[in-house]
Chains A and B, each alone.
Chain A
Amino acid sequence: MLDGVVKVLTRIAAITVLVMLGGVIVALVDGSIPALRAYGFSFIYTESWNPVTEKFGAAAPIFGTVVTSFIAMLIGVPLSLGIAIFLTELCPPRLKRPISTAIELLAGIPSIIYGIWGLFVLAPLLQRTLQPWLISAFEDIPVLSNLFAGPPYGIGILTAALILSIMVLPFITSITRDVFETVPPMLKESAYGLGCTTWEVVRDIVLPYTRTGVIGGVMLGLGRALGETMAVTFVIGNAHRIANSLLAPGTTISASIANEFTEADGELYTSSLIALGLILFVITFIVLAGARLLLARMKRAEGK
């Protein structure tokens, strides 16, 4: 009898997880109905964000979210792969654990700490060094001069992307390191036996063998970057426009919500912010679900 009760209880708890997901979707859709009714599909591609005239569009935050995450991946993925290669192929065994732990601790640091550090330490530094250099270095090159134009504010899209790239490091590193370690030693030894260098083993044996898992890890990192809120809110500048320059201030979906939600007055304003949240949730859900499917496939292949 008691066993039946316990069984049902645990089952209900398991279903709660599903209910949670359903609840999030229903609540967000319900909250964004006024905005969706007022603007329809044009909400997604309208750039204007004007609380006075109540004209809201999600284009600028979506743009900022995608661009910051994309740049963060451009920087973060090679770095993470480099660290994973270092940990699995180069690192002396004695240092392996401490270094892995240190990298993983980066994931433990709360995002608000990245934000405050980015605003007070990284942004001024970039304003003095990297940004003036980028502006002068690309001045005469047609397309790139637009990308790195304007005054060096310190804060802006590029700074946010740099901080995101540090924040995704531990997630991508720990997964790629784990999948690198699933490569059968026999395979690697055979390549070494044929005279391959470590780099050739990594490039031609390890990476092809673990491709699915690596892509899964990268997508997991991407999911994190897309949804990251506080760190970005500090350094993005919160400007609702799509600028050509990476040095200009911008905004992301999560930063807009964090900055404006408590101050939003009027149903349409609040509802537009919730609609932004819905868009963010849908995007990250797709990315994260893709990542999990790839990682699950990797695990299955390994089990065979």
Chain B
Amino acid sequence: MNPAVLKQYARRKRSHKIAMVCSFAAAALGLLALAWILATLFAKGFGGLNWAVFSEMTPPPGGEGGLLNPIFGSIVQTVVATLIGTPIGMLAGTFMAEYGRNTKLTMVVRFINDVLLSAPSIVVGLFVYEIMVRPMGHFSAWAGSVALAILVLPVVVRTTEDMLLLVPDSLREAASALGAPRWMVIQQICYRAARAGLITGILLAIARISGETAPLLFTSLNNQFWSTDMNAPMANLPVVIFQFALSPYEDWQRLAWVGALIITLAVLSLNIAARALSAQRASDR
């Protein structure tokens, strides 16, 4: 064969090989990053994991203690935020998929919602500071919960709309033909058919907010002590990790790692549960 052609062959083969090795290396690097972060968390956090972490309050520097109040605060604020954000999100998603399908309002809401989905969470913190903390004159767990609820909203809107749109119209028509009013069709047929997907969305929303720090920094602030008062500042795990990790005290830093491990495990299990749920639904069909 012509040597010029052979040379071109060799060149093409070489660039193919280089590209494929790079692509393989990129994937390996991505997996390495995940493994490295998880390994660090276990190495630094697992040793400190004991019963005291779940039963004692945050200690003063140099003292003994656990993470009970921030864990409790995180759970309370996450639950309240989910309770506020989910119903509004589901109703909005229902409008977009059922009553207002293909209307202009739906199109605008979908676009804005998609933008809000990845908007910086610290801006949400500033917003809630302006509308709640400043007028009320103090930081509070309510403000923190509202900030988190604002982050829940777009996630739930998005998944609700997507999941309801997957429900075949023939189901709706069959129910309507039996004389069911629209709200009943939605509630009895559409919600039931899309149940796994709707739950997935809520789980993802909870996973999203349970690790959020930025919107809580100046809404629910932090609290060194046990507090169940929603009108007062409340401790929460992410902010405590932030404060403890950046402190010069070694025992605080150790607790920060324990907290980091707990939060990561919780968030990743929520993520995996959501994934398993939606995979199961896919195989059902």
Contacts and interface: CB of A to CB of B under 8 A. Distances in A.
Interface of A: 2-3, 6-7, 9-18, 20-21, 23-24, 27-28, 30-31, 78-83, 85-87, 89-91, 99, 101-103, 105-106, 108-117, 119-121, 166, 169, 171, 173, 197-200, 202-203, 220, 223-224, 226-230, 233-234, 254, 257-258, 261-262, 273-274, 277, 280-281, 284-285, 288-289, 292, 296
B108 A18 contact: yes
A230 B123 contact: no
18 contacts: A3-B181, A11-B99, A12-B91, A13-B89, A16-B153, A21-B115, A83-B27, A86-B23, A90-B24, A105-B34, A108-B207, A202-B19, A203-B19, A220-B118, A258-B122, A261-B217, A280-B122, A284-B119
A106 B34 contact: yes
Interface of B: 12-13, 15-16, 19-20, 22-27, 29-31, 33-34, 36-37, 40-41, 44, 87-92, 94-96, 98-100, 105-106, 108-109, 111-116, 118-124, 126-127, 129-131, 150, 153-154, 157, 181-183, 186, 207, 210-214, 217-218, 221, 238, 241-242, 245-246, 256-257, 260, 263-264, 267-268, 271-272, 275
B34 A14 contact: no
Contacts, number: 262
B12 A257 contact: no
Ranked 9 nearest A-B pairs via Cβ: A110-B211, A227-B120, A82-B26, A13-B91, A10-B95, A197-B16, A199-B19, A13-B92, A27-B130
Contacts of A10: 91-92, 94-95, 98-100
Contacts of B116: 17, 20-21
B30 A173 contact: yes
Contacts of A7: 95, 99, 182-183
Nearest to B256: A116
A3 B183 contact: yes
A248 B113 CA distance: 37
B126 A106 contact: no
A284 to B, nearest CB: 6
Contacts of B111: 289, 292, 296
B211 A112 contact: yes
A230 B263 CA distance: 15
Contacts of A101: 275
A109 B266 CA distance: 10
A199 B24 CA distance: 12
Contacts of A82: 22-23, 25-27
A303 to B, nearest CB: 14
A113 B264 contact: yes
Q: Which of A85, A226, A228 gathers the greatest number of chain B CB atoms within 10 Å?
A: A85
Contact of B183 (A6, A81, A121, A274): A6
Contact of A258 (B37, B100, B214, B241): B214
A109 B113 contact: no
A73 to B, nearest CB: 15
